């Protein structure tokens, strides 16, 4: 249970930094005393559901933006990580559907390893070529590769599609940031938890 609270606190803190807000500003927006908010963010206290709801509202977040992946896995989709839960599977299928792509693949890189996370309608040979192209920073014809990097890790959304609408690019950027944070959290966990 401690991992869940840690993950939520970390996502809230990241969202606050990304929005350029101070703890005091978030506390005011949420109708909380600054010291109460600070103790939640640092882990000295745990928020009630009502308080968490207020904080999410102040940061304009949904619970799915801060909730950790499902540890036992959901069995949904062709996912290499069992923690890639129903919400994230919905997100990747949403982009796949809206983009009208032929194939989609999500790849995570960390510590020199390239790992497939999720794919649909991607042949193994084609997926291997994508891994090689991403590992060597080369382009791969017929594929649009959208990437997000942070602290030596990266996540790559690969779509076999001619063009992507600007709203899909913006949506993919949001999802890539969420996926990267999730995968980095999982990657840092002791392997016995996985």
Whether 100 maps to a domain, the answer reads yes
Q: How much of the chain exceeds pLDDT 70, in percent?
A: 84
Among 122, 163, 132, CA closest to 146: 163
* Residue 9: pLDDT over 80: yes
- Are 62 and 120 part of one and the same domain? no
- Are 26 and 58 part of one and the same domain? yes
d(CA 122, CA 158): 10
Residues 6+ apart with CB under 8 A from 98: 165, 168, 171
pLDDT bin (cut points 50, 70, 90) of residue 56 is very high
180 or 33, which is more confident: 33
- Are 130 and 183 part of one and the same domain? yes
pLDDT bin (cut points 50, 70, 90) of residue 79 is very low
- Are 33 and 90 part of one and the same domain? no
* Residue 78: pLDDT over 60: no
Whether 136 maps to a domain, the answer reads yes
Give tens-digit pLDDT for 183-194.
Answer: 777 666 554 444
Mean pLDDT of 90-101: 84
Number of structural domains the chain divides into: 2
Whether 179 maps to a domain, the answer reads yes
- Are 53 and 100 part of one and the same domain? no
pLDDT of residue 54: 93
Determine contact, residues 65/15, Cβ cutoff 8 Å. Answer: yes
Q: Does the predicted TM-score (pTM) go above 0.75?
A: no
H/E element, 130: helix 124-135
- Are 55 and 102 part of one and the same domain? no
26 or 69, which is more confident: 26
CATH number at residue 92: 3.30.450
- Are 61 and 19 part of one and the same domain? yes
- Are 95 and 187 part of one and the same domain? yes
Q: Give the mean pLDDT of the chain.
A: 81
Listed residues 35, 66, 97: the one ending a domain: 66
Q: Determine the structural domain holding residue 14 and report its residue range.
A: 2-66
CATH number at residue 61: 1.10.260.40
* Residue 72: pLDDT over 90: no
- Are 119 and 177 part of one and the same domain? yes
Give tens-digit pLDDT for 101-141.
Answer: 888 888 888 877 877 888 888 888 888 888 888 888 888 88
Whether 76 maps to a domain, the answer reads no
Whether 80 maps to a domain, the answer reads no
Whether 74 maps to a domain, the answer reads no
Report how far apart, in Å, the C-alpha atoms of 7 and of each of 77, 130, 143, 159, 186 are: 24, 31, 33, 29, 10
């Amino acid at each position: 249970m401690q991992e869940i609270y840690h993950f939520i606190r970390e996502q809230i803190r990241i969202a606050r930094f990304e929005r350029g807000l101070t703890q005091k500003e978030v506390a005011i927006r949420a109708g909380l005393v600054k010291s109460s908010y600070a103790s939640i963010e640092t882990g000295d206290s745990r928020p009630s559901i009502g308080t968490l709801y207020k904080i999410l509202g102040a940061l304009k977040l949904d619970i799915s933006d801060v909730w950790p992946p499902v540890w036992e896995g959901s069995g949904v989709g062709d996912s290499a990580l069992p923690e890639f839960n129903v919400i994230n599977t919905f997100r990747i299928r949403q982009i796949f559907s809206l983009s009208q792509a032929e194939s989609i693949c999500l790849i995570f890189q960390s510590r020199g390893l390239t790992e497939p996370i999720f794919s649909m309608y991607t042949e193994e040979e084609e997926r291997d070529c994508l891994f090689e192209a991403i590992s060597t920073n080369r382009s791969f014809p017929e594929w649009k590769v959208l990437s997000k990097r942070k602290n030596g890790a990266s996540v790559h959304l690969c779509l076999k599609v001619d063009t992507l609408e600007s709203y899909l690019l913006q949506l993919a950027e949001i999802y890539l940031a969420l996926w990267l944070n999730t995968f980095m959290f999982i990657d840092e966990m002791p392997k016995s938890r996985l």
